[in-house]
């Protein structure tokens, strides 16, 4: 295996989830400001959000099995810290946002419909105040996820355009593992 | 190239190099459209868009803010009972609630105003909201009003009608000229209002019949989708309302009569499904369907319990008309998605607010709502 590239399964999960999460952020923010599209968007929001929750669990396991390739040796400690910190934050938010969505609908006393008669069980007892609190948390965490995503995208582009250290290619190349990206400095 | 740089030099941002400048510009060019699109989709760039927040703000402008209470249909009481299906609905819908058998129901009677302490005699429209707990865990929530048609075709029209009826800051009363102007501009609303006025209101909740107004679609096991509207037709004989003038007699007379009626024994309604035919408009709740449409009696609603709003009961339920079981679907009626969105916003606001006891309380001297077995 190439040590400077994420394995194909990691790259697949990354780009699939990137598209899903970005779509979910737009669906979420759009549905709460649209009378006409609210219902069909929310009907899509719930199952897609639950799919993200399942995928992030798969992804965390995959990440433990296949650790990320080493960062370039000359990368300054402050940037390494930012990279690791933002990745931990992204994972935390990818779990928290859909979990809070599920929990808040539970506390709100709603059936959590995925598709047709397929429903999730509640994970919290009904409680109006808990619902209100979690509903606010869902918005705040989703906006935090959007902000973290923007920072992550900006950092990825910094690697690609300014640092040119192969970190971008470690996730963004499509070929097989043998066409190696520019090698990091040792 | 990097070959003549010291290790780590490529990470240096200062002194600024051309590559850093170009890179930052490129990043801005990628990020800005994303942020812009997000802000646009979220309505932040279009303050005039009618959103669920603005619509709920509209109710608050007209009625004032009453923390913890629904922004519309604010004054109400909780009820419970069951629905006994006769099996006739199976031909129309595969939802298990229509199979022969019994489904537990909770609900809420209310008056259709956003003021929780309004005297009953100052209200016109009454409502019945229901939540059916299906045996497979699904729910069917529906809200019904005792009018034959709805006075607005679209959410935008509804908002304009609501605001036309808002109290004029100068006089504290609605300006009749604004309402006239609205109805002049909306002949379908004027026609609906004429139908609403032509039919007398019932004396109380128990002898009133309630209508879904919006159209839905029922889908049966064979996959056939049928446009429908539904009604709860009272079994108690209809007695037309005589106006009750102010004073304490008028304050809660509707609710007091309901509580007394339920104390005497269960109150019943027949769930009637009106089957639409080709050409019947589903996207316009101001239009009645022809009287000749087939009406299928699918079972009986039996209400035998009443209690004041409180934690965890109907107070904390959002009777979202689009919480539907498999076998009932929204139609193309534009009010439906708008109602679902608006009720969610109203529910979210009131859920987080401190609660005050409801105006409607069950007096001590009313006999137990459900008589003990053998009595
Ligand atoms: C990664 C996953 C998710 C993301 C990124 C996401 C994002 C969002 C966003 C941005 C909003 C709008 C918040 C606002 O401006 O108020 C929202 C609202 C909402 N989300 Fe999610 N969400 C996710 C998962 C879920 C899940 C799994 C559920 C439920 C099973 C859910 C249920 C809801 C509901 C019910 C609303 C509010 C609707 C309303 O207020 O009427 N979300 N979400
Ligand atoms: C666009 C039009 C409409 C708007 C904006 C609107 C708005 C509202 C709001 C904000 C509530 C309070 C929800 C809550 O906090 O739980 C409510 C309750 C209710 N609405 Fe509407 N409504 C509309 C049309 C209709 C129609 C067509 C019906 C048909 C029967 C209807 C029947 C009801 C009923 C029965 C309730 C009371 C539910 C309860 O007791 O909890 N509404 N409405």
Per-residue pLDDT of chain B (375 residues; tens, 9 = 90+): 444 568 889 999 988 899 999 999 999 999 999 999 999 999 999 999 999 999 999 999 999 999 999 999 999 999 999 999 999 999 999 999 999 999 999 999 999 999 999 999 999 899 999 999 999 999 999 999 999 999 999 999 999 999 999 988 888 888 999 999 999 999 999 999 999 999 888 999 999 999 999 999 999 999 999 999 999 999 999 999 887 776 667 799 999 999 999 999 999 999 999 999 999 999 999 999 999 999 999 999 999 999 999 999 999 999 999 999 999 999 999 999 999 999 999 999 999 999 999 999 998 876 554 443 333
Contact B321, B36 (CB under 8 A): no
Task: Please tell me the predicted confidence (pLDDT) of residue A176.
Answer: 61
Helices H, strands E: what count in chain A?
5, 2
Q: In Å, how far is A43's CA from the nearest CA of chain B?
A: 10
How many whole angstroms separate alpha carbon B59 and alpha carbon B65? 9
The three-class DSSP label of residue B302 is strand
Fold of B50-351: Catalase HpII,  Chain A, domain 1 (2.40.180)
Q: Report the nearest-CA residue for atom 17 of ligand 2.
A: B72
Helices H, strands E: what count in chain B?
8, 10
Contact A111, B323 (CB under 8 A): yes
Q: What angle do CA B200, B201, B202 make, to 5 degrees?
A: 120
Q: Which of A76, A111, A132 sits opposite B348 (nearest CB)?
A: A132
Q: Report the nearest-CA residue for atom 43 of ligand 2.
A: B72
The three-class DSSP label of residue B307 is strand
Q: Return the sign of the alpha-carbon dihedral for residues A59, A60, A63, A64.
A: negative
Closest residue by Cα to residue B299 from B232, B236, B238, B237: B232
3-state secondary structure B83-145: EEECCHHHHCCCCHHHCCEEEEEEEEEEECCCCCCCCHHHCCCEEEEEEEECCCCCEEEEEEE
DSSP line for B201-231:
PBSSSTT--EE--S-EEEE-TT--EEEEEEE
Per-domain residue ranges for chain B? 1-49, 50-351
Task: Please tell me the predicted confidence (pLDDT) of residue B168.
Answer: 87
Q: How far, in Å, is the centroid of ligand 2 from the Cα of B251?
A: 22
- In which residue ranges of chain A is pLDDT below 50? 1-2, 178-186
- The torsion defined by the Cα of B240, B242, B248 and B249, in degrees rounded to 10, comes to -70
pTM for this structure? Answer: 0.94
Partner-chain contact A34 B43, CB within 8 Å: yes
Task: Name the CA radius of gyration of chain A, rounded.
Answer: 19
How many whole angstroms separate alpha carbon B314 and alpha carbon B360? 13
Phi, psi of B267 (to 5 degrees): -105, 140
Phi, psi of B192 (to 5 degrees): -65, -40
Instruction: Please name the residues between 277 and 316 in chain B that touch chain A, using a CB distance below 8 Å.
Output: 311-312, 315-316
Q: Find all residues with CB under 8 Å of B95, minimum gap 6, and list them.
A: B89, B134, B138, B140, B218, B325, B326, B327, B328
Partner-chain contact B38 A26, CB within 8 Å: yes
How many whole angstroms separate alpha carbon B97 and alpha carbon B301? 12
How many whole angstroms separate alpha carbon A33 and alpha carbon A26? 11
Q: Is B66 a catalytic residue?
A: no
How many whole angstroms separate alpha carbon B340 and alpha carbon B364? 37
Q: Could you count the other beta carbons within 10 Å of the beta carbon of residue A94? A: 22
Q: Which of A33, A76, A162 sits opposite B19 (nearest CB)?
A: A162
- The tokens for A2 are 């190439």
Strand runs (DSSP E) across B186-312, as ranges?
210-211, 216-219, 225-234, 267-275, 295-307
Closest ligand 2 atom to residue B320 Cα is 16
Q: Find all residues with CB under 8 Å of B332, minimum gap 6, and list them.
A: B282, B283
End-to-end alpha carbon distance in chain B:
97
Q: Find all residues with CB under 8 Å of B26, minimum gap 6, and list them.
A: A157, A161
Q: In Å, how far is A61's CA from the nearest CA of chain B?
A: 30
Give B155's contacts in chain A (Cβ within 8 Å): 35-36
Taken in order of first residue, the domains within chain A and their CATH numbers are 8-68+75-173 (1.20.950.20)
From residue B275, give the alpha-carbon distance in Å to each of A75, B92, B100, B279, B328. Answer: 70, 9, 20, 12, 13
For chain A, give the mean pLDDT: 93
Q: Is A129's Cβ below 8 Å from some Cβ in B?
A: yes
Q: Find all residues with CB under 8 Å of B205, minimum gap 6, and list them.
A: B109, B126, B128, B254, B255, B257, B258, B261
Closest residue by Cα to residue B296 from B93, B149, B147, B128: B93
Task: Please tell me the predicted confidence (pLDDT) of residue A175.
Answer: 67
Instruction: Please name the residues between 34 and 63 in chain A that touch chain B, using a CB distance below 8 Å.
Output: 34-40, 42
- The tokens for B57 are 């703000």
User: Mind listing the pLDDT tens digit for each residue in A121-140?
Assistant: 999 999 999 999 999 999 99
- The torsion defined by the Cα of A64, A66, A69 and A71, in degrees rounded to 10, comes to 0
User: Mind listing the pLDDT tens digit for each residue in A82-114?
Assistant: 999 999 999 999 999 999 999 999 999 999 999
ipTM of predicted complex: 0.93
Partner-chain contact A157 B342, CB within 8 Å: no
Q: Could you count the other beta carbons within 10 Å of the beta carbon of residue B66? A: 18
Q: How many angstroms from the chain centroid is the CA of residue B57?
A: 16
């Amino acid at each position: 295996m190439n040590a400077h590239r994420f394995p194909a399964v990691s790259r697949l999960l990354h780009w699939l989830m990137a598209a899903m999460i970005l779509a979910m952020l737009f669906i979420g923010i759009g549905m709460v400001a649209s009378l006409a599209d609210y219902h069909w968007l929310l009907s899509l929001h719930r199952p897609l959000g639950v799919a993200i929750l399942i995928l992030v669990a798969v992804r965390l396991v995959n990440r433990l099995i296949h650790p990320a390739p080493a960062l370039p040796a000359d990368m300054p400690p402050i940037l390494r810290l930012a990279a690791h910190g933002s990745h931990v934050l992204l994972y935390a938010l990818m779990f928290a946002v859909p979990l809070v969505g599920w929990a808040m609908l539970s506390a709100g006393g709603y059936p959590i419909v995925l598709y047709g008669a397929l429903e999730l069980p509640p994970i919290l007892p009904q409680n109006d105040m808990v619902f209100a609190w979690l509903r606010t948390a869902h918005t705040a965490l989703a906006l935090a996820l959007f902000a973290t995503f923007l920072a992550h995208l900006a950092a990825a582009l910094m690697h690609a355009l300014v640092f040119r250290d192969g970190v971008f290619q470690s996730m963004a190349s499509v070929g097989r593992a043998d066409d190696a990206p520019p090698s990091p400095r040792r | 190239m990097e070959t003549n740089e010291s290790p780590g030099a490529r990470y240096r941002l200062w002194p600024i190099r051309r590559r850093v400048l170009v890179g930052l510009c490129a990043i801005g060019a990628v990020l800005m459209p994303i942020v812009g699109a997000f802000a646009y989709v979220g309505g932040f760039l279009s303050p005039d868009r009618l959103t669920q927040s603005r619509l709920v703000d509209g109710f608050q402008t007209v009625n004032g803010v009453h923390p913890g209470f629904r922004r519309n249909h604010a004054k109400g009481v909780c009820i419970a009972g069951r629905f006994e299906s006769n099996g006739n609905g199976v031909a129309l819908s595969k939802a298990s609630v229509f199979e022969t058998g019994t489904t537990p129901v909770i609900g809420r009677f209310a008056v259709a105003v956003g003021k929780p302490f309004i005297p009953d005699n100052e209200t016109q429209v009454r409502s019945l909201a229901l939540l059916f707990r299906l045996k497979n865990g699904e729910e069917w929530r529906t809200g019904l009003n005792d009018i034959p048609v709805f006075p607005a075709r679209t959410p935008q029209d509804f908002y304009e009608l609501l605001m036309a009826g808002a109290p004029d800051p100068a006089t504290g009363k609605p300006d009749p000229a604004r309402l006239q102007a609205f109805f002049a501009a909306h002949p379908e609303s004027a026609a609906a209002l004429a139908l609403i006025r032509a039919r007398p209101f019932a004396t109380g909740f128990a002898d009133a019949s309630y209508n879904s107004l919006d159209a839905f679609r029922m889908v049966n096991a064979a996959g056939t989708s049928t446009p429908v509207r539904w009604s709860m037709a009272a079994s108690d004989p209809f007695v037309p309302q005589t106006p009750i003038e102010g004073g304490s007699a008028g304050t809660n007379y509707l609710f007091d009569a309901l509580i007394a009626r339920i104390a005497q024994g269960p109150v019943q309604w027949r769930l009637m499904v009106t089957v639409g035919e080709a050409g019947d408009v589903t996207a316009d709740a101001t239009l009645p369907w022809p009287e000749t449409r087939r009406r299928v009696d699918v079972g009986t609603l039996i209400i035998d319990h009443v209690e004041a709003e409180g934690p965890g009961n109907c107070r904390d339920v959002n009777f979202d008309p689009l919480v539907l079981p498999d076998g009932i679907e929204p139609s193309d009626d534009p009010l439906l998605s708008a109602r679902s969105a608006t009720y969610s916003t109203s529910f979210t606001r009131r859920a987080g607010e401190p609660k005050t006891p409801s105006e409607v309380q069950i007096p001590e001297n009313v006999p137990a709502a459900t008589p003990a077995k053998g009595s």
